[in-house]
Structure 1
Amino acid sequence: MRIAMVTVAALGLALAACQPSADPSAKESGAAQTDTGEAPEADAVTLRGDGLAAGAESFYFGAGRSEVEAGVTSALGEPTERSDDAECGAGPVQFTVYPGDLHLNFQDGKLVGWLVQDGNSSPTIRTAQGVGIGTPAQDAAARIDAKPVVGSTLDGEFQAAGDIGGFFGEAGGARRVTGLFAGTNCFAR
């Protein structure tokens, strides 16, 4: 089986470099908002195509691992696992996994991607539009413009607005979101 790197957020990486931040860690305090313009709950993680927000702190791709982990730990609690994958097509990738099955992907001490998978039905890990694991496919299509990736070797893969990708699958007798990701991820293709 060939391991391939999927870089869904190439544009997001370019945009992250242009984000206003006086701190070279690519962290920005107080910048996180939901689509309603309200600040997210302190224990919420907002998934974005250019990184993520933990509570009121935004972390763009390129942010330092220790800062990202501190922010996400504050929101979700201690990590459940830390591991690495030396076989990833992008080169060695280190992972930190949090409650709710949120995987943060790091290379050279920097945030490069995230993945949340089946098994998480947490209302605290969502996109700014409220899409998370278990969201009905038609709602995801309407909220984040999720469209199937034609010819993908990954079952149910979709691409959405804002450089977020994901997967649709059958859950509870309906087609629902079973995974969301952005940035660098290692998938077997």
Structure 2
Amino acid sequence: MTIKLLPCALAALGMLAACSPEPKQPAEKKHAANESEIIVPPEANIEANVSNASDEAPGVGVNLAPDELTVVLPNGASRHVSFGTAKADAIRMLAAPLGHPIEQDENQDCGAGPLAYAAFRDGLSLYFEDGKFAGWDLDGRENGKFATGNGIGIGMTRKALEAAAGSIDVGETSIGNEFTAGGVSGLLSALTPEGKVTNLWAGVTCIAR
């Protein structure tokens, strides 16, 4: 017996075919499509974010050197603020561990000529020549907060200074008992072995002689 489909039945079958779902993509293709949507930030952006986070963390310190200051981060990484660094950059980098300068001005009466300076809390001052970081000066207010890589700092005795530096040049000058040790200069309260370091500086500064 031959079955004949009515026109309305044929139309219904056509509608069902049109509404049937399309075959699903294989699982591997779907996974690949999701991976293509992942955005990987440039490496430089990652480093910048880490640096910004480190600047705000407690425990950031500053080390002294004959030709720079080094900002030491809590994770052991360091940033070198070398002589020749632009003034704005040097102040910004030192502001992370020390806070903003308490005074900024220019001294016209320095032996090296006019020098701009930025004074921070705890007795550390930065000097700038022609807009570039050129020297630093540290007085006795810092209470042992800063030191060189070999341990030279305010408050240590001449005996300890000589042990740390290996040898020093010392003598009486117009500003007191002045010494130099490996590119860093300073003053002693006395020339005896018990005399203590009261000031330190390096580079171009405005020491009144």
Compute the TM-score of the two structures, normalised by the length of structure 2: 0.64
Which residue identity lines up with residue 99 of structure 1 in the other structure? R
Which residue identity lines up with residue 175 of structure 1 in the other structure? G
Aligned partners of 1:121 and 1:132 also within 8 Å: no
Aligned partners of 1:116 and 1:180 also within 8 Å: yes
Counterpart pick for 2:178 among 157, 167, 172: 157
1:168 corresponding residue in structure 2: 188
Distance 1:112 1:143 in 2: 25
Q: 1:99 to 1:122 in 2, by over 3 A?
A: farther
Which residue identity lines up with residue 91 of structure 1 in the other structure? G
Q: Does 1:86 align with 2:108?
A: yes
Which residue identity lines up with residue 109 of structure 1 in the other structure? G
Percent identical across equivalent pairs?
A: 29
Q: Does 1:45 align with 2:67?
A: no
SS in 2 for 1:149: strand
Distance 2:199 2:83 in 1: 19
Q: Does 1:103 align with 2:125?
A: yes
Alpha-carbon distance, 1:105 to partner: 0.3
Alpha-carbon distance, 1:96 to partner: 0.5
Alpha-carbon distance, 1:151 to partner: 5.1
Compute the TM-score of the two structures, normalised by the length of structure 1: 0.70
List structure 1 runs of 4+ shifted beyond 4 angstroms: none
Distance 1:159 1:101 in 2: 20
Distance 1:117 1:100 in 2: 8
Counterpart pick for 1:134 among 147, 155, 163: 155
Q: Which one has a larger percent helix, Structure 1 or Structure 2?
A: 2
Q: Which one has a larger percent strand, Structure 1 or Structure 2?
A: 1
Larger radius of gyration: 2
Q: Does 1:143 align with 2:164?
A: yes
In the alignment, structure 1 segments of 5+ residues that lack a partner are 1-29, 31-40
Aligned partners of 1:148 and 1:156 also within 8 Å: no
Aligned partners of 2:185 and 2:202 also within 8 Å: yes
Distance 1:52 1:106 in 2: 14
Alpha-carbon distance, 1:166 to partner: 0.7
How far does the alpha carbon of each residue in 1:96-140 deviate from its partner, in whole angstroms, 9 at most, with x for none? 0111110100011100100001222142x1111122111122111
Distance 2:172 2:111 in 1: 20
Aligned partners of 1:96 and 1:105 also within 8 Å: yes
Kindly tell me the number of residue pairs found equivalent between the two proteins.
145
Q: Does 1:178 align with 2:198?
A: yes
Alpha-carbon distance, 1:150 to partner: 3.3
Which residue identity lines up with residue 108 of structure 1 in the other structure? D
Alpha-carbon distance, 1:154 to partner: 2.0
Highest RCO, 1 vs 2 (Cα 8 Å, sep ≥ 6)? 1
Alpha-carbon distance, 1:152 to partner: 2.4
Supply the RMSD in Å over aligned alpha carbons. 1.9
Q: 1:64 to 1:146 in 2, by over 3 A?
A: farther
Distance 2:178 2:116 in 1: 23
